[in-house]
Chains A and B, each alone.
Chain A
Amino acid sequence: MAHAEPNERFTALYHAHYHQVYAYAVSRAGRKLADDVVGDTFLVAWRRLDDVPARPLPWLLGVARNVTRERFRDDIRQASLAAELRAWVVETDADIADSVAERAAMLAALAGLSEDDREVLTLTAWQGLSAKDAARVLGCSTATFFVRLHRARKRLEQAMSDAVTVDRHRPARSPEQEYAR
């Protein structure tokens, strides 16, 4: 693979991982800025093609992480991200009526967490990275990542249970309960 023409190597890399880099960019900077982040990330990858490891995704996301931090003024990125987090709750898919409230509550709870907590959780749950790969993205050890993930998960659960406590009067329904009437 290392001997393939640079163009072919890069094109393969780009098409294989564009979606993942885009998803990460949206979760860190909002959809408005995501295209810029993706473009700059792959430009770095092109310029440093020989540095890209055999399993490129953690490296690409690490670059995207740096790009997001360095490319935008923080207030611009925060504004875009805040809009994105709000949109997630509003746009929660109403296909499956039962779980839409739960999913919306999950996203709302997520929005209330710190950016670092959100990052460890979404790298795991939405990007599907192993702890080892996620640790590489963040530049920490795998052991540290496990600890951070554990803590972030607890905080998310806390936020969810706080929301449920407030909302206790909402009746829980399930299809079985409906038909069992």
Chain B
Amino acid sequence: MSHRDTLAALADARPRSLDPSERPADPALIMAYPRRESATRVARRPVRRLVLAGALPAVALAATGAILLNNTSGPGAPVVQPATSSPVPVDVPTGAGSLLLVAAERSESAPVTAGRYWVVRTEHGDGARRVQDELWLAAVPGLPSVGYVRSADGSWTSRPMRGHTADNNFLLAGSPRSARELAALPTDPAKLTEKLLTWYADTGGVEQRDEFLFNSGAAIVLDLPVSPQVRAAAYRMLAAMPGVTSLGRVADRLGRPGVAVAVSRQGDFGKAQTRLIVDPTTGRALAQESWVAGNPASFTAVITARWSDDGLPEASALR
């Protein structure tokens, strides 16, 4: 075969998978980020992931047959806040603060537990795509971690999470952290802020400071294995941040009622907002959502986050 023929034959063999199966996501999602003349190195993963259509955490993604659940609709579904309307901001300075302080109090009284695995079931996505997954994250050295992904028919498939150990399973403040580090977080809100800011320095300041603190606080209350007292401290930290506003009563993308607090940033394209939705009666954080120019962009809704001493389940055993 001549050299020219080889390359021509190779060109003929180009796989279809090189062509995206979906239309590209709206570039507005990218343009909502501030432009900076900063370093090009993507040295660390930002705390808030850039989620475009089809881009979901690598460990949780199945290439085909993954999706998912339909939008909540139909008879008997809970009342869902229409996606296109933005709740009127409650412009009371202490509104966000007092909501979060209530959540802090509720959290604080929960019993301290721990276990071999930290098990988190979330539904997340953007646009029309949704994925539900359950991650069994080792919190004790020597155990493997596994992700389970739910397909459209409701059945689960397991995906081993190679390289995931108790030393690096938990992403907080720009870096993977160990269960031990999280257990040692301060229970005083000012000290917690201080600790997070030392980690902020490590990230090279790609994110703005207030956003960083908000995202870190949100991660702590939503789905990280910390003691209830640390969770309460995170709520108190968020309550004291001047840039955090209350959006009043909302429902998350799963239709669960709660109250939202948010930080906003004026991107070049439109307002980019990160929301944390909390159930004030229990103090449980429900979801984190990204909104761009008044429209929902992406979300992560935590369904359960708990300790377990069980062994890893078979995928078929999940309900």
Contact = CB atoms under 8 A, between A and B. Distances in A.
Interface of A: 6-7, 10-11, 14-15, 18-19, 22-23, 26-27, 31-36, 38-40, 42-44, 46-50, 63, 66-67, 70-73, 75-76, 79-80, 83-84, 87-88, 91-93, 99, 102-103, 106-107, 110, 121-122, 124-126, 150, 153, 156-157, 160
Contact of A93 (B11, B16, B24, B50): B16
Contact of B35 (A22, A31, A49, A156): A49
Interface string B55-86: 11010010100000000000000000000000
B307 interface: no
Contacts of A122: 10
| SS of A interface (majority) | helix
27 contacts: A7-B269, A10-B31, A11-B31, A14-B24, A18-B24, A22-B18, A22-B24, A23-B18, A32-B63, A34-B20, A36-B58, A39-B55, A40-B50, A42-B27, A46-B35, A47-B37, A47-B38, A63-B40, A87-B15, A88-B17, A91-B16, A102-B13, A103-B12, A106-B13, A125-B7, A125-B10, A160-B6
Most buried by B among A39, A40, A49, A103: A39
A133 to B, nearest CB: 16
A153 B6 contact: yes
A126 B58 contact: no
Interface string B24-52: 11010011010111101111010000111
A106 B37 CA distance: 43
Contacts of A87: 15, 17, 63
A157 B6 contact: yes
A122 B54 CA distance: 24
A23 to B, nearest CB: 4
B27 A14 contact: yes
Nearest to B12: A103
Contacts of B54: 35
Contacts of B24: 14-15, 18, 22
B319 interface: no
B162 A79 contact: yes
A77 to B, nearest CB: 9
Contacts of A23: 18-19
A80 B38 CA distance: 30
Interface size class of B (residues with CB under 8 A): 35 or more
Contacts of B7: 121, 124-125, 153
A39 B30 contact: yes
B15 A91 contact: yes
Given A83-B63, A87-B15, A102-B9, 9 more contacts: A22-B18, A32-B61, A46-B31, A63-B40, A70-B41, A76-B58, A80-B58, A122-B10, A153-B6
Pairs A-B, 7 closest by C-beta atoms: A35-B55, A23-B18, A125-B10, A103-B13, A106-B13, A14-B27, A18-B24
B1 to A, nearest CB: 6
A83 B24 CA distance: 23
B11 A126 contact: yes
Contacts of B51: 39
B50 A39 contact: yes
B55 to A, nearest CB: 3
B40 A48 contact: yes
B30 A107 contact: no
B163 interface: yes
Contacts of A32: 58, 61, 63
Contacts of B41: 66, 70
Contacts of A40: 42, 50
B268 interface: yes
A43 B50 contact: yes
Given A7-B268, A10-B31, A27-B18, A76 B10 contact: no
